[in-house]
Structure 1
Amino acid sequence: MSVTLVTGCAGFIGMHCAQRLLERGERVVGIDNLNAYYDVGLKHARLGRLHGQGDFTFEQIDVADRDAMHALFARVRPHRVLHLAAQAGVRYSIDQPDDYTDSNLLGFGNILQGCRAQQVEHLVFASSSSVYGGNAKLPFSERDAVDHPVSYYAATKKANEVMAHAYAHLYGIPTTGLRFFTVYGPWGRPDMALFKFTRAMLAGEAIDVYGQGRLVRDFTYIDDIVEGVLRVLDKPATPDAGHDPLAPNPGTSTAPYRIFNIGNSTPTLLMDYITALEAALGTTAIKRMLPIQPGDMHSTAADTAALAAWVGFTPATPVREGVARFVHWYRGFYES
């Protein structure tokens, strides 16, 4: 049976993707370093959903540990790699850049070396809409240049994309990068706005609304993300026969390399997102209006035409529906 290695399997997206793979009857080896960036108890709870669901094996390994990663690839010999482990968080990258260098750069290099050694059938890795940085043209397209990141986190994700291209070109490793747009939903990350807003509102506390509430995000529901990820994973990247080196499309290559946006293509004002949460909770938020934070982007919006053309799927879960599902999970998990 083929083996899929899922890094960051105790994370938000990692747990959901591993769960879907197990439900499909696949063998999954998951790794995570279980760091304390946010509640480790939540990470263990996610792992609890994976254990016993099928052919699942977990190992606590940090992707930045070169020797451990080399031994893992040699032992597991994965056919496919879904690389979702990373140090996340735009604002945290301003305070703790070394964590991003270790996990997102050194760790990604170890992933690439493992994929090279085993000649994996497909490497799919998480990039981010943050790579669009200072771009002002909306919606963001994979054809756009992404040379002006506004956070170190975004810079590491841009670096991952070009590192991956080099390995696809040099060693023929089919490689696909996925630019996720503000993912939310059940089992989400406590450092994300929806989680923090919900916790504060239920406690009767004020919420911090950055950018005076005028920020715009392409909020994308977790189930849509997982569907897109698995469809891409099942279709290895191939060289683009129409790629023109004189007018290159950054999203394709003469190498087996692709980049895709995965977003809802429905940019939503932050205040409308809060309104959806107020409706789901049945309470009105006490809002503390604040300026935009260093490293934050003002607006994001995904052009998903390339994804739709490649795998026939476009995320479409409405924000009000997705937020209501999150609240249902949150109450069940924390109030039961």
Structure 2
Amino acid sequence: MTVLVTGAAGFVGMHVAKVLLDSGEKVVGIDNLNNYYDVGLKHARLQQLEAYDAFSFIKQDISDRDGVFAALKNIPDITKVVHLAAQAGVRYSLDHPFEYTESNITGFLTILEYCRQLDNLEHLVFASSSSVYGGNRELPYSVDQSVDKPVSLYAATKKANELMAHSYAHLYGIPLTGLRFFTVYGPWGRPDMAYWTFTEKMLNGETLPIFNNGDMKRDFTYIDDIVSGVVALLNNPPVGGDDAAPYRIYNIGNHQSEPLLNLVSALEVSLEVKANLKMLPMQSGDVKETFADIDPIRRDVGYEPTTSLQEGIPKFVEWYKSYKKG
């Protein structure tokens, strides 16, 4: 049997695909290799996967319904899908809104419709985001809270994904699990994220922009901890019953909200460089703090993050230096 991983050339997608391959699964990856950030990094991630005989790759934009269906029609044994392809980034959505509706709404609908036509589908796991909590003030963020006040279009598209998924689980009995990721970081990460941009600026002697005058906190979650949760859930599909659809939503984070300046301090130690800071006001679409309640995923699949920020950042820095040399 085969697992389809969308966004396979992405940060989380590559790591999920690699763990699945290491466990003996066959994996089909799909990605459009867009230029939101360095395409060379995406190709380098793919090279890590192409070393496996059980991996095959399809270059395809998921918003192209006909293209996706044609590309996948000759792969009859897909039983599980991990949908990670999306247009990411809160700030980018302020100036490029249509890219978010095309990828995150139309693209997700394509994957839902594709899965609806699979005879042997066991489970579809898809990426949501902690951004859906928007203007919520109650911490830690719980999946029982209302998420009807998004503060960015990106967040709104992710909330829309959750609603779309529930409707398909209800109508067609497709087992669907959504994961609200909390600030994922680590080797092979995204160049638009703070830990990467801060690393570059510090090594180049540039000033770091620190928004909200440093009064920011994030639930920083190391990539290995994220992947362990994704894979555990993939093998444990939800079961509907009575009036309940086979659908569920989880937070997946480190369950520790840390000041942004702790990230800076961890980078200073790992890089052996003193950071120069420029305090700035809050940006549009941003939130002051994130903090994941992970009790449900801990209860259901034994999820337990094990990597602290002080342990994870040195691993990223070691990889970053090696990648830049290579």
Structure 2: how far apart are the matches of 1:180 and 1:151?
16
Aligned equivalent of 1:103: 103
Aligned equivalent of 1:329: 319
Structure 1: how far apart are the matches of 2:160 and 2:209?
31
Residue 25 of structure 1 contacts residue 54 of structure 1 at CA under 8 Å; is this kept in 2?
no
| CA offset digits 1:59-84 (Å, max 9, x no partner) | 10000001011223422232111000
| CA offset digits 1:158-206 (Å, max 9, x no partner) | 0000000000000000000000000000000000000000011111111
Aligned equivalent of 2:161: 160
Q: Which runs of 4+ in 1 moved over 6 A?
A: none
**Which has the higher mean CA deviation after the structures are superposed, 72-81 or 292-301?**
72-81
1:301 aligns with 2:291: yes
TM-score, normalised by the number of residues in structure 2: 0.98
Structure 1: how far apart are the matches of 2:57 and 2:288?
38
| 3-state SS of paired residue (1:9) | coil
- Cα deviation for residue 315 of structure 1 reads 1.4
Aligned equivalent of 1:274: 264
Structure 2: how far apart are the matches of 1:135 and 1:7?
30
| 3-state SS of paired residue (2:42) | helix
Structure 2 unaligned spans of 5+: none
Q: Are the structure 2 counterparts of residues 328 and 219 from structure 1 closer, same or farther at C-alpha, using a change threshold of 3 Å?
A: same
Equivalent residue runs for 1:114-153 within 5 Å: 114-119=114-119, 120-153=121-154
Structure 2: how far apart are the matches of 1:271 and 1:224?
22
Aligned equivalent of 2:244: 254
Residue 210 of structure 2 contacts residue 280 of structure 2 at CA under 8 Å; is this kept in 1?
yes
Residue 73 of structure 1 contacts residue 118 of structure 1 at CA under 8 Å; is this kept in 2?
no
Give the aligned length.
Answer: 324
Equivalent residue runs for 1:76-115 within 5 Å: 76-77=75-76, 78-115=78-115
Structure 2: how far apart are the matches of 1:274 and 1:124?
33
Q: Which amino acid aligns with 2:324?
A: Y
- Cα deviation for residue 240 of structure 1 reads 6.3
Aligned equivalent of 1:208: 209
The percentage of counterpart residues that share the same residue type is 56
Aligned equivalent of 1:43: 42
- Cα deviation for residue 239 of structure 1 reads 2.3
Structure 2: how far apart are the matches of 1:331 and 1:222?
18
1:185 aligns with 2:186: yes
Structure 1 unaligned spans of 5+: 242-252
TM-score, normalised by the number of residues in structure 1: 0.95
Residue 135 of structure 1 contacts residue 146 of structure 1 at CA under 8 Å; is this kept in 2?
yes
1:5 aligns with 2:4: yes
Q: Which amino acid aligns with 1:113?
A: E
Structure 2: how far apart are the matches of 1:239 and 1:215?
39
Residue 208 of structure 2 contacts residue 275 of structure 2 at CA under 8 Å; is this kept in 1?
yes
| 3-state SS of paired residue (2:277) | strand
| 3-state SS of paired residue (2:197) | helix
Residue 62 of structure 2 contacts residue 110 of structure 2 at CA under 8 Å; is this kept in 1?
yes
**Which has the higher mean CA deviation after the structures are superposed, 315-324 or 150-159?**
315-324
**Which has the higher mean CA deviation after the structures are superposed, 146-155 or 316-325?**
316-325
Residue 240 of structure 1 contacts residue 255 of structure 1 at CA under 8 Å; is this kept in 2?
yes
